[in-house]
Homo-oligomer: A and B are copies of this chain.
Amino acid sequence: MTDDLTRTISRSVWHGWGDPAERHTLPSHAWAFLEREIGARPIATPDLPVALLDVVLPEPALPEAARAALEAVVGAAQVRDDHATRVDHAGGKSLLDLVRIRRGDGSHAPDAVIFPGSPEEVQQVVQVCSEHEVALVPFGGGTSVVGGVSALRGRFEGVVTLDLRRLAALTALDPVSRVATLQAGLRGPEIEAALRPHGLTLGHYPQSHQEATFGGYVATRSAGQASTGYGRVDDLVLGARLATPAGELRLDAHAPASAAGPRLLDLVVGSEGALGVITEATVRVTAYPTATARGSWAFPSLAAAGAALREVAQRHGDDTLPDVCRVSDPSETQVSLTLAGGIGGRLLAYLRRRGLTEPALGIFLWEGDSRIRVEQRRLRFGSVLRRHGAVRLPAAVAGAWQRGRFSGPYLRDELLDHRVLAETLETATTWDRLLPTYERVREALLAEFAAQGTPAVVQCHISHVYAVGASLYFTCVARALPDPGAQWLRVKGAASDAIVAAGATITHHHAVGTDHLPWLTAEVGALGLEVLRSVKATLDPVGVLNPGKLVPLQENSQRLVRTLTGS
């Protein structure tokens, strides 16, 4: 059975998001909305990406001896440096990446791409790169939105990208303990397709699910749309194999928990290719759900939603909390319902009659292996929500969200064609700081767009809920300046400063990469950074692994990142 969780798509087009065969275009009422809100409209001669062959790549600088050594490991056919392969690996899918590559700037492309076939080959490739002083960038689905897969050279002459697509096996399954060992290159739908015949699921569905890989999930400490229920990847990982220049770090004790010192596995989770290359990891899996329920509710405000979700998370926990739990702020609610067309307008009118003039729309999904228990959770949840003034909407609203759950990022491409910038950022904080952080970041975003003279729509939703707090996911849409990359860097910088000032985390599920690096010190302190550096120096003494990501180079990191990102 193939469904939206197991359906594999073609690898994404080099200049945009997702399956090249899928077309996602903005309907005319969406354009009408954008014209009303930010004065944007389709332009007659869109800013289309350059032709593939017009992308300018760096002169290949891979030393011949290094290439020979790499070919000796993986075979000549698996060391590729044709134009298309290099362009395909020239960056991730952040707005900065897209803006750069659409203009034909392939400066972040590797000299060659290596396609190893086994963890052992990865281990050898890593050691060859260290010996030959060639920078190495691990690459899974290539969907990083923080610069994580840009092929930066650091202080090295050559840089290669290590594409893990051939490591795509379910290597071990323990159905009794519900523990699976998966190779790093498995894409989201491939993970689900491998587990489904055993009646199991990983339950990890980021918006990049169709392209992102298992190794990427672990390397970026990822959370998916259903992680409120299934747990973040850090909650799921029990063991891992990390290929490093110093040898393979194998952490594979078969234990649900341990007190054997600091949990070194938590250095692998979130290691972003800078401490090693994750070749496989062992994770907790769950029974594939045979029962599901959907719910949609409107809250009088985001504050009311926060209070309700907090009560559920703290007092009721997993016996009530939805697996997917997201609530849009009034701005995002307006946008979503307006873009939904006539039905959305009727819902807004209905809510107005019920006294919700600035409603906050909640989408909730429960999954399980018992229809009765799933229904009980849904009903208990509803009874709490009613006490917080929430109004129940047709469950079809949640169904509509579910159908479009992976398609949002496709729209960025068409918007860029028409000089409209769209990008997201996220954070998380404790409940007491949630609303102040929301206000502060929102104001920082709006103020920066205003200072640039580009009208913007700034919207936000609570995307994940925990007993002690929640995450906030912001989406910005604005008229693009001639240099949208520089424009976004200033906006993102203002938001990041606001996040740090609020005491929240710089990222809830998008990792550090290059883009969050200037704010990492605020989060872990100078000494925390020293600890990270010492771990890197032990595992990667030459420093070839993903230079400039996660662990700042010794130079002034802010200046460096600014240079690297071209601002």
Contact = CB atoms under 8 A, between A and B. Distances in A.
A232 interface: yes
Contact of A525 (B251, B286, B507): B251
A206 to B, nearest CB: 11
A534 B538 contact: yes
Chain B CB count within 10 A is highest, among A249, A260, A506, for A260
A469 B504 contact: no
A502 to B, nearest CB: 8
A256 B512 CA distance: 17
Interface in A191-220: 220
A430 B537 contact: no
Interface in A245-274: 246-251, 253-264, 266-272
A527 B532 CA distance: 16
A533 B538 CA distance: 9
A255 B178 contact: no
A318 B229 CA distance: 12
A532 B508 CA distance: 26
B317 A254 contact: no
A249 B468 contact: no
Nearest to A271: B262
A257 B471 contact: yes
A207 to B, nearest CB: 14
Interface in A389-445: 427-433
A259 B528 contact: no
Interface residues of A, number: 94
A238 B506 CA distance: 15
Contacts of A174: 430, 432
Chain B CB count within 10 A is highest, among A254, A261, A504, A509, for A261
A505 interface: yes
B532 A534 contact: no
A262 B268 contact: yes
Contacts of A13: none
Interface string A524-543: 11111011111101110000
A249 B430 contact: no
Nearest to A306: B176
Contacts of A249: 525, 527-528, 531
Interface string A223-251: 10000000010100010000010111111
B468 A264 contact: no
A369 interface: yes
Contacts of A86: none
A255 B525 contact: no
Interface string A151-186: 000000000000000000000001011110000000
Nearest to A373: B319
Interface string A464-496: 101111110000000000000000000000000
A550 interface: yes
A333 interface: no
A467 to B, nearest CB: 6
A301 interface: no
A431 B527 contact: no
A223 B256 CA distance: 13
Nearest to A539: B531
A52 interface: no
Contacts of A314: 178, 286-287
Contacts of A533: 538
A352 interface: no
A172 to B, nearest CB: 11
A257 B531 contact: no
Chain B CB count within 10 A is highest, among A254, A286, A369, A503, for A254
Interface string A43-86: 00000000000000000000000000000000000000000000
Nearest to A510: B259
A279 interface: no
Contacts of A430: 174, 176-177, 179, 254-256
B464 A257 contact: yes
A326 interface: no
A516 interface: yes
Contacts of A526: 247
A520 interface: yes
Contacts of A525: 249-251
A259 B316 CA distance: 26
A223 to B, nearest CB: 7
Contacts of A251: 524-525, 528
A6 interface: no
Contacts of A263: 221, 234, 266, 269-270
B528 A538 contact: no
Given A255-B430, A259-B507, A262-B268, 18 more contacts: A174-B430, A176-B432, A177-B431, A221-B263, A223-B257, A249-B531, A254-B430, A255-B427, A257-B505, A259-B508, A259-B511, A261-B511, A261-B524, A261-B550, A262-B269, A262-B270, A263-B270, A286-B467
Interface of A: 174, 176-179, 220-223, 232, 234, 238, 244, 246-251, 253-264, 266-272, 275, 284, 286-287, 310, 314-319, 369-370, 373, 427-433, 464, 466-471, 503-512, 516, 520, 523-528, 530-535, 537-539, 550
Closest 4 CB pairs of A and B: A319-B319, A256-B466, A266-B266, A177-B430
